[in-house]
Amino acid sequence: MQLKKRFLYYNLVKYLNHKNSLVITGMRQVGKTTLMKQLFETVENSKIWFDFDNPLDTLIFENSNYDAVYFDLLKNCGGKQNTQLFVFIDEIQNFPDITKIIKYHIDKYNVKYIVTGSSNYYLRNLFPESLSGRKFLFVLSPMDFKEFLYFKNQIGKTEGLDYNINSDFKKCSQYEYKKFEFFFNEFFEFGGFPEVVVTENHDTKKKILKNIFSSFFEKDVKLLTDLKDIKDLRDLILLLAARTGNILDVSKLSSEMGINRVKMYSLLELLQGVFFVKLIPKFSKSIDRSVAGRRKVYFADNGLLNTISRLNESQLFENAVANQLEKYGELSYYNLRNTSEIDFILNKSIAFEVKLNAVKRDVERLKKISERLGINSYFVISKSYVDLENTIFWL
């Protein structure tokens, strides 16, 4: 049976004929290798595949003569010099020198490189400025609920690919709510890692999620940090999980863990760089001020979060909504001295409040705060069905 394609595939194929290299990054086991294999099958020209987890696959690139590397690649895939060559490389971070070869081959031979790497934190250092203008970077995340429904055969590809604020942020009927309620409860608990989504047995899903968490420490963390940092990261992840949806106090976190603020910021940057957590800034109409101040923390996937810690339903729902809303643009939150707050503001123009059971008072309160901020579009996102204006469900 042919595997379904992730939504990102349909965006990537648009750039296969552009000269720039395509870099696909994201968490481990999120489906990057499968996605790249599907792109490999799509390409009909001269093509060749390498897996840099296998040391033998880096041999051809260890030649300091980059012209010789090019002709070796052509020879190995049976291509001719005047035909475009497509080179696919999995786990590029295992051989940093490859970036020099990529630049040379793009500029001289118009070679198309399609590569994956598991850490944006690492790739930022791996790709020098000389590759600026020669790469397109794409992030593959765990599935959101819309893509989850597509893989569960509940919506079609066309419907799923259309991320449109005007059509998606609308009130649904009770029939639509009931139609998808069962699927949302599964997504709410187990999240959107592809192998988890296509696995039916719940115990097996839990085992897969534990393996994903272990893989994060066995590969990404060991590559990026020393032994003591691994323990600190584990402890920090446990502390952050309990704070999901809350504003972080870095000083308090540092004190609890017995490390300084500089080290704490470094660990938080690493967790963001490997896509494990996301930190959402405070709302401000000034771009400069929006990056300052305390941030709210969310995890990349509900299934992973449930594996790490048992949280209350409100935190889990807010985490799921954060991951969904991120597909539509940039998120921030609003908090005025803990007296008035808004859970999420999308693209500085749409306000969202997240509630398990929305009531009319929630809508009225959100409207009042939003209008005070000059935001005219607002919605309460409810986990349970209620018949209220400006209330939506799960997206």
pLDDT on residue 171: 77
pLDDT value at 45 more than 70: yes
pLDDT tens string 198-245: 999 999 999 999 999 988 877 776 666 665 678 888 899 999 999 999
Domains defined along the chain, listed by start: 7-139 (3.40.50.300), 145-392 (no CATH)
| Alpha-helical regions (H) of 114-217 | 120-126, 145-151, 157-161, 165-168, 174-190, 194-198, 202-215
Q: How far is 389 from 392, CA to CA, in rounded Å?
A: 9
Q: How many residues does the chain have?
A: 395
Q: How far is 237 from 31, CA to CA, in rounded Å?
A: 23
Mode of pairing for the β-strands spanning 350-355 and 377-382: parallel
Handedness of CA 160, 165, 166, 172 (dihedral sign): positive
User: Is the pTM above the cut of 0.85?
Assistant: yes
pLDDT tens string 249-279: 999 999 999 999 999 998 898 888 888 999 9
pLDDT on residue 224: 64
Rg (CA), the chain: 23
For range 44-58, the mean pLDDT? 92
| Alpha-helical regions (H) of 7-156 | 7-12, 32-42, 66-77, 98-109, 120-126, 145-151
